[in-house]
Structure 1
Amino acid sequence: MRPWLYNTLYRLGIAPWDTGVRPHLVDLVDSGRIKPEGGGRVLDLGCGTGAESVYLAGRGFDVVGVDYARVALDRARARARQQGAEDRCRFLQADITSYPLPGVDGTFDVILDFGALDDMTGQPRADMARLIHRYAHPGTVFVLWCFYARKEDVPRVRFAGVSRMHSMIEPGEEQRLFGREFSIERVESPEHTACFVMTKR
């Protein structure tokens, strides 16, 4: 999708993915799989209105949220102000397929992607994966949520759920993009979606 379309959906309040903090992330924090002590620097790619970024900032993480939708970022900043998390999260408008991100130095302990990589196809998807590799160091935890299926295994059109109208990660693609440098664990998710917790070796 084009930035103007994302901005329109956010402005109208009808972006279907803008549903609050993802339960998978809450589970990872509550279980201690990711924690701020000794490793709390987070990069939230495609952060949208900042639900995950602000949630983590409120739990002691230092977060950089990146998106290219200006309307979403304005709302993310407002959310951070309202929840008193401004000092722990920063939001910037940038292309998450282009390394380096402006003003973003070093590597991160946690990288999040809830629905950005699977929204890309071809070279942009490869470029975003390359950016993730470059911002990771040994021990980095990368959380990837995505539509996950072969095109032929989902309906051509569906009003609720995944269809061939969506772009998606195909089974095995996560290994091709990340398997050489990350250990990959898949956690339980609804049909035709996946949540991967990857750890940089």
Structure 2
Amino acid sequence: MRPWLYNTLYRLGIAPWDTGVRPHLTDLVDAGRIRPEDGRRVLDLGCGTGSESVYLAQRGFEVVGVDYSGVALERARALARSKGVSGNCRFLHGDISSYPVPGVSGSFDVILDFGALDDMTGAPREGMARVVHRYARPGTVFVLWCFHARREDVPRFRFAGVSKMHSMLEPGEEETLFGREFTIERLDSPEHTACFVMTKK
């Protein structure tokens, strides 16, 4: 998809992925697996309207969110202001498939991706994986949520859920992209989706 399409979906309020804070993230925070005492710097790749970024900022993290939809970023900044955490959130316009991302420097303790990597194919997908590698350090926790299935196992089209109209990670692709430098744990997720918690070695 293109930025103009994302902007249109956000402007109309019909972006299907814009559903608030993802339960996998809240579960990880509630379980103490992601906590500011272990490192406060968070990079939210494809941050959208900022739900996850603001949620973590409210819990003491320092968050940098990056997206290429200007409409989404305006809403993310407004959300941070409304929750009183603008000082803990920076939202940047940028291409997350190319390193370095303008305005983003150093390494991060937590990196988030809820549905950006799987929306890319080919060179951009490989480029975004390199972005994750370059901004990670030993001990960095990378949370990746994605559509995850063999293309032949999903229907050609359906109104709700994954179909061949979506791009997705094929099983094993997470190992190809990240397995050499991250340990990978898969959390329970609905059919044809996956949430991975990866830790930089």
Is the TM-score greater than 0.5? Answer: yes
Gap runs ≥5 in structure 1: none
Q: What is the match of residue 194 of structure 2?
A: 194
Report SS of the residue matched to 1:138.
Answer: coil
* 1:107 aligned onto 2:124: no
Gap runs ≥5 in structure 2: none
Q: What is the match of residue 49 of structure 1?
A: 49
Q: Residue type of the partner of 1:103?
A: G
Q: Deviations over 1:130-170 (max 9, x none)?
A: 01000000000000000000100000111111000000000
Q: What is the match of residue 28 of structure 1?
A: 28
Identity of aligned residues (%): 80
Q: What is the match of residue 8 of structure 1?
A: 8
Q: Residue type of the partner of 1:70?
A: G
* d(CA) in 2 for partners of 1:117, 1:111: 12
Q: What is the match of residue 155 of structure 1?
A: 155
Per-residue deviation, 1:89:
0.5
Report SS of the residue matched to 1:112.
Answer: strand
Q: Mapping of 1:51-130 within 5 angstroms?
A: 51-130=51-130
Per-residue deviation, 1:196:
0.1
Per-residue deviation, 1:38:
3.8
Q: What is the match of residue 182 of structure 2?
A: 182
* d(CA) in 1 for partners of 2:98, 2:167: 20
Per-residue deviation, 1:41:
0.3
Q: Residue type of the partner of 1:29?
A: V
Report SS of the residue matched to 2:109.
Answer: strand
* d(CA) in 1 for partners of 2:200, 2:18: 28
* d(CA) in 1 for partners of 2:102, 2:96: 10
Q: CA RMSD in A?
A: 0.4
Per-residue deviation, 1:40:
1.0
* d(CA) in 2 for partners of 1:141, 1:105: 17
TM-score, structure 2 as length reference: 0.99
TM-score, structure 1 as length reference: 0.99
* d(CA) in 2 for partners of 1:139, 1:107: 11
Q: Residue type of the partner of 2:9?
A: L
Report SS of the residue matched to 2:124.
Answer: helix
Q: Deviations over 1:74-96 (max 9, x none)?
A: 00000000000101010000000
Q: Residue type of the partner of 1:152?
A: E
Moved over 3 A (4+): none
